[in-house]
Structure 1
Amino acid sequence: MAISVPFLSFVLIFSLVSMGNSLISNYYEKTCPHLDSIVAKTVKEAAAKDITVPAALLRMHFHDCFVRGCDASVLLNSTAKHKAEKDGPANISLHAFSVIDNVKKQVEDSCPGVVSCADILALAARDAVFLSGGPYWDVLKGRKDGRISNANDSFLLPAPFFNISQLQNNFAQRGLSLEDLVALSGGHTIGFAHCSSFRNRIQNFDAKHDVDPSLNPSLAAKLKSTCPAKNTPKNAGVTMDSSGTTFDNTYYSLILQGKGLFSSDQALLTNAQTKKMVSEFAASKGAFFRAFVKSMIKMSSLNGGQEVRRDCRAVN
């Protein structure tokens, strides 16, 4: 049974075409009609066992789409002679791959050789957002899986220390606008960040400041305590925002208070256009949800794959 949607005002359907690939919502209507319900049930069960799963799946989808488009290249395993994307520096902390494996197994049992891993990941990310209290949308389908996955390509991802110009350029290279940048950054409302992602703001920030002066002092003190300069505990870090596992617009309110966790979060206030959007999304969860859905579908429509993998971890 498919996920029920109590807030119909946030069920948004768009038809976006990118890179010459026409994706449609009913792509598997005849070939794998139970796909959506299989993904939703599996993600829900996994999230019930591990509260970090939703954020992990959303992040995995972002990281996949920003490298060669949404082609499931981030799911491929390294081999003895080749280091794959998932083992690149920016992707080392990705997890919940087993959730996608579980979905793929069930889908292959139900409709073998039909559904791409890229489509499964796109659906899983949508369900992850919805399970966390966020909006629900109709995922366009028809992506193909890629055959190329390089560890060094993880450097193509927007880094947490980027300034607004670097962020804008990084998103523009993928056909994404400033509004997409601000809306998609809202994905940081769920998840966990390790100390390495924000250490640049709390130690040796620049020649004049040890701590980033744009960082709220109370948050800075908390972060320095959690991530000491020496002997930082392994896997130490903090939740992305104060609402932790709930997908909402708290992220934007915190930025306005100087409590954005990453340099790239706080950078959204350094441009007049993005600052205005931050304020709008902080004031209205509905406005954020609508923008997020629109930008997610736009980003998720980037695809350049060639095949439907039988195993998400290996090319055919």
Structure 2
Amino acid sequence: MPSLKLCSSFFLQLIFTLFVFDLANAQGLKVGFYEETCPQAEAVVKKTIVPVIAEAPSLAAPLLRMHFHDCFVRGCDGSVLLNSSTHQAEKDAIPNQSLRGFEVIDRVKTALEKACPGVVSCADILALVARDVVTAIKGPSWQVETGRRDGRVSNISEALANLLSPFANITQLKAGFQQRGLSAKDLVVLSGGHTIGISHCFSFAPRLYNFTGKGDTDPSLDPNYIARLKVKCPPGAVAPIVEMDPGSSKIFDDDYYTMVSKRRGLFHSDASLLDDSETKAYVINHASTLGSASFFEDFGVSMVNMGRVAVLTGKAGEIRKQCALVN
């Protein structure tokens, strides 16, 4: 017969295991959440997205960013999609004014409401669309956990306070990710999303013309690249755009890390990845290897991690009928 001490030890270990298991499942997300309530949900999303990206591949980047910007403010609750009659919602904040594709999300929502009324959340639509647009431009695929519900609050000041700046240094970036339960590896991997898309000149112009307030350039930026950027972005220019990853901004690959390793990351936040031993090692490794397999796998893992940030599940929040409006 086991001793009382042994039984007590086993009981405590069991309680601890159950507690950890409960924490791991507390958020209520899982792959295949809609298997019974809307089994065709993911197929509907993909069927809607594929022709859109085939016709307009430049929409992939802003639709991917939309999921990022949603999760970093109030968590992944679809709040970035809400409209405000007084222009005080998250989407009205300056960092979100470059987002495009809200009408695509509405198109997906309409298709899902027709197939399964009142079932699939707008927050989950953002997560599924992010995966499908990446896959559509030759990037990786991954299993998306679903089960999020939609928030009812969207505030411009919260977006301004919580979205990480393209001028952020590595300390600020790591702290911002850590606050959301994300690691330094998640930071460097998700930064790889800058392999697609464009940016307006104002997002990086200080690096070219006034880095320290003395009319100087950012010493961490390759001088030859600075010269090329100045041609596209003359002093005071706002409207012109520049490819994030010149030559392959519509194809999802790991060329971003080659650019950063050559000191040609467009944002200061890109350059900052070389200021930390862990993030720098990842950049250098993926800049010197052929093929994107390991980055693709890592990207899927980190997207799942980000998709868990401060989610609403169970009876919290709501399932919006229209993504831009609370019920």
TM-score, shorter chain, exceeding 0.5? yes
Structure 1: how far apart are the matches of 2:107 and 2:98? 20
Contact 2:134 2:141 in 1 (8 A): yes
Matched residue of 1:193: which SS?
strand
1:267 counterpart = 2:272: yes
CA distance in 1, matches of 2:146, 2:194: 25
Verify: 1:61 aligned to 2:67, yes or no: yes
Which residue is equivalent to 1:192? 198
User: Are the counterparts in 2 of residues 17 and 23 from structure 1 also a CA contact under 8 Å?
Assistant: no
Match of 1:235 in 2: 239
CA deviation profile, 1:55-107 (whole Å, cap 9, x unmatched)? 11100000001111110000000123x61000011101111001110010011
Name the structure 1 match of 2:85. 79
Query: How far 1:294 moved relative to its partner?
Result: 0.8
Question: Taking structure 1 as reference, are residues 267 and 152 closer, same or farther at Cα in structure 2, changes over 3 Å only?
Answer: same
Residue 153 of structure 2 corresponds to: 148
Task: Report deviation, 1:153.
Answer: 1.6
TM-align CA RMSD: 1.8
2:134 aligned with 1:129: yes
Is the Cα–Cα contact under 8 Å of residues 320 and 326 in structure 2 kept in the other structure? yes
Aligned residue number for residue 294 of structure 1:
301
Q: Structure 1 161/16 Cα, relative in aligned 2: closer, same or farther at 3 Å?
A: farther
Letter matched to residue 219 of structure 1: Y
For the Cα contact (< 8 Å) 1:16–1:23, is it kept in 2? no
| TM-score normalised by L of structure 2 | 0.88
Name the TM-score, length of structure 1 as normaliser. 0.91
Task: Output the CA distance in 2 between the equivalents of 1:99 and 1:31.
Answer: 23
Q: Structure 1 residues 42 and 19, CA, compared in 2 at 3 Å: closer, same or farther?
A: same
**1:214–1:184 CA distance, 2 compared to 1 (3 A):** same
Query: How far 1:41 moved relative to its partner?
Result: 1.5
After TM superposition, the structure 1 = structure 2 runs for residues 103-122 of structure 1, keeping only pairs within 5 Å, are 103-122=108-127
Counterparts of 1:307 and 1:228, CA distance in 2 = 47
CA displacement at 1:248 relative to structure 2 = 0.5
Question: Which of 315, 320, 323 is residue 312 of structure 1 equivalent to?
Answer: 323
Greater share of residues in helix: 2
After TM superposition, give the deviation of residue 235 of structure 1 in Å: 2.6
1-side partners of 2:50 and 2:24: how far apart?
30
Q: Which runs of 5+ in 2 are unaligned?
A: 1-20
Equivalent residue runs for 1:181-260 within 5 Å = 181-206=187-212, 210-230=216-236, 232=237, 235-242=239-246, 243-260=248-265
Q: Is residue 173 of structure 2 the alignment partner of residue 167 of structure 1?
A: yes
CA deviation after TM superposition for structure 1 residue 20, in Å = 3.0
Please list the CA deviations of residues 277-303 of structure 1 after superposition, one character each: whole Å capped at 9, or x if unmatched.
111222252221121111100000121
Which stretch shows the higher mean deviation, 275-284 or 155-164? 275-284
Stretches of structure 1 that go unaligned for 5 or more consecutive residues are 1-14
The equivalent of 1:10 in structure 2 is none
Matches of 2:192 and 2:22, distance apart in 1: 21
Q: Is the 8 A contact 2:57 2:137 kept in 1?
A: no
Residue 4 of structure 1 is matched in structure 2 by none
Q: How many residues align?
A: 299
What secondary structure sits across from 2:190 in the alignment?
A: helix
Matched, 1:98 2:103: yes
- Residues of 1 paired with 2:69 and 2:206: CA distance? 22
> How big is the shift at 1:178?
0.3
Equivalent-residue separation in structure 1 for 2:69 and 2:230 (angstroms)? 28
Name the amino acid aligned to 1:237: I
